[in-house]
């Protein structure tokens, strides 16, 4: 998979936006989201000056190794343009978010493996809890509450 470091600039401004992507059509993705009013990326500052003044350049193309490598490369370019950068969230920030996510995922997996039996017991206990449905006047499993309340029988019993 190929990755791109790209720059978006405007002839109406000195500012630039630096991003990285594996999407060949990233620029049109940015602009079409913008036209729909859905782009909340900081590149909007440049688009607001007029899309017709914007220019999209690929600064580097490389093979995707991993997300960390991609973000590091993006950060290198953001450092080069640091005085003109319109980006609010730098690659480094995204990296930190990504690392936190990985750590969390890892910790969660470790917990699940270490507490396999405890979790299974909790699951089982939860499956045995019954509550009253006041609409149907009957006991239902608490874990099925959501499904029950969308079910035909329950809906038919609604006043
Ligand atoms: Zn019910």
19-61 per-position pLDDT tens digit = 999 988 889 988 998 988 888 788 999 999 999 999 999 999 9
Tell whether 37 is covered by a domain. Answer: yes
127: CA distance to ligand 1 center in Å?
17
Query: What CA–CA distance (Å, rounded) separates 119 from 126?
Result: 10
Assess whether 35 and 74 both reside in one domain: yes
At residue 146, what are phi and psi to the nearest 5 degrees?
A: -55, -50
135: CA distance to ligand 1 center in Å?
5
Tell whether 53 is covered by a domain. Answer: yes
Task: Work out how many domains the chain is built from and give that number.
Answer: 2
Domain containing 66: what range? 2-91
Assess whether 75 and 126 both reside in one domain: no
Ligand 1 ion local residues (Cβ < 5 A):
133, 135-136, 154
126: CA distance to ligand 1 center in Å?
19
90 close to 76: Cβ distance less than 8 angstroms: no
Assess whether 8 and 68 both reside in one domain: yes
Assess whether 21 and 85 both reside in one domain: yes
Assess whether 79 and 124 both reside in one domain: no
143: CA distance to ligand 1 center in Å?
13
pLDDT digits (tens, 9 = 90+) for 98-135: 777 787 788 888 888 999 998 888 888 878 888 999 99
């Amino acid at each position: 998979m190929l990755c791109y470091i790209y720059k978006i600039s405007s002839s109406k401004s000195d500012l630039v936006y630096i991003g990285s992507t594996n999407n060949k059509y990233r620029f049109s993705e940015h602009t079409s989201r913008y036209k729909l009013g859905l782009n909340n990326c900081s590149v909007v500052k440049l688009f607001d000056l007029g899309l017709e003044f914007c220019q999209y350049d690929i600064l580097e193309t490389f093979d995707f190794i991993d997300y960390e490598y991609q973000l590091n490369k993006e950060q290198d370019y953001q450092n080069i343009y640091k005085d003109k950068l319109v980006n609010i969230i730098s690659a480094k920030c995204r990296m930190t978010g990504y690392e936190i996510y990985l750590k969390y995922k890892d910790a969660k997996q470790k917990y699940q493996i270490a507490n396999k039996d405890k979790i299974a017991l909790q699951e089982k206990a939860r499956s045995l809890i019954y509550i009253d449905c006041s609409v149907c006047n009957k006991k239902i499993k608490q874990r099925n509450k959501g499904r029950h309340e969308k079910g035909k029988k329950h809906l038919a019993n609604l006043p």
